[in-house]
Amino acid sequence: MSIESTLLQRCDSKCELCTADKHLDIFEVPPVTESSADRSVMICETCRTQISQTESLDTNHWRCLHDSIWSPYPAVQVVAWRLLNQLSSETWAQDLLDQMYMDEETQEWAKDGIPEEDDDTPPTLDCNGTRLEAGDTVTLIKDLVVKGAGFTAKRGTAVRNISLTSNPEHIEGRVNGTRVVLVSSYMKKS
């Protein structure tokens, strides 16, 4: 069975990201080591155009990812994760990222395909000097009063799927269901 027929059967002839049923084509998820159905997704022309022109993503189109993140196929999960990371400034996209689960191998694949940015900003480091990346899990090393939220984040609280900010001394994460900015020097990478 060809890759195309395998993907069409897998996706029921619908885009695996937005469920459109017209103008479908194979999209090989980078980095491409070999062509296979496991490393590809079937997407529509609109999704392909959006993926190739990342600087002008239509945020409303990608709200469809709330279903794609639950796909049992790693290739679909990887594409959804990458798109949601590009849209992470949107609250709904960050919420979907917080809900999303990928095994370690799939998460490594997702991170491998993101081009390295030539960036002069210093890295975000935890209290031990370990580099923090978006999506990491950290643990609070001291009690922190969360201003404006009316609670204290207790020492030992795990903060999963963090986001980095433009300031290398701060990270964003959810504590007690509230999205807050935290000082990275009060965190320890888990």
Q: Which has the closest alpha carbon to 82: 112, 53, 58, 56?
A: 112
Q: Which has the closest alpha carbon to 74: 29, 44, 112, 31?
A: 29
Quote the CA–CA distance of 47 and 19 in Å, as a whole number. 10
pTM of the model: 0.61
Quote the CA–CA distance of 63 and 40 in Å, as a whole number. 21
Quote the CA–CA distance of 189 and 158 in Å, as a whole number. 9
Distances (CA, A) of 165 to 25, 180, 182, 184: 36, 11, 10, 10
Cα dihedral: 10, 107, 35, 86 (round 10): 90
Give me the number of domains the chain comprises.
2
CATH number of the domain bearing residue 150: 2.30.30.40
Tell me the residue range of the domain where 17 lies.
Answer: 3-112
- Domain C-terminal end among 95, 112, 129: 112
Q: Which has the closest alpha carbon to 144: 164, 159, 163?
A: 159
75 and 168 assigned to the same domain? no
Q: What is the mean pLDDT of each run of 10 residues along the chain (190 residues)?
A: 89 93 91 86 92 79 91 94 88 90 90 64 88 90 86 91 89 88 90
The answer to whether residue 34 sits within a structural domain is yes
The answer to whether residue 125 sits within a structural domain is no
82 and 168 assigned to the same domain? no
The answer to whether residue 124 sits within a structural domain is no
Burial label, 55 (beta-carbon count in 10 A; 0-12, 13-18, 19+): exposed
Cα dihedral: 119, 56, 28, 99 (round 10): 80
The answer to whether residue 127 sits within a structural domain is no
Burial label, 137 (beta-carbon count in 10 A; 0-12, 13-18, 19+): middle
8 and 85 assigned to the same domain? yes
154 and 66 assigned to the same domain? no
Quote the CA–CA distance of 73 and 30 in Å, as a whole number. 15
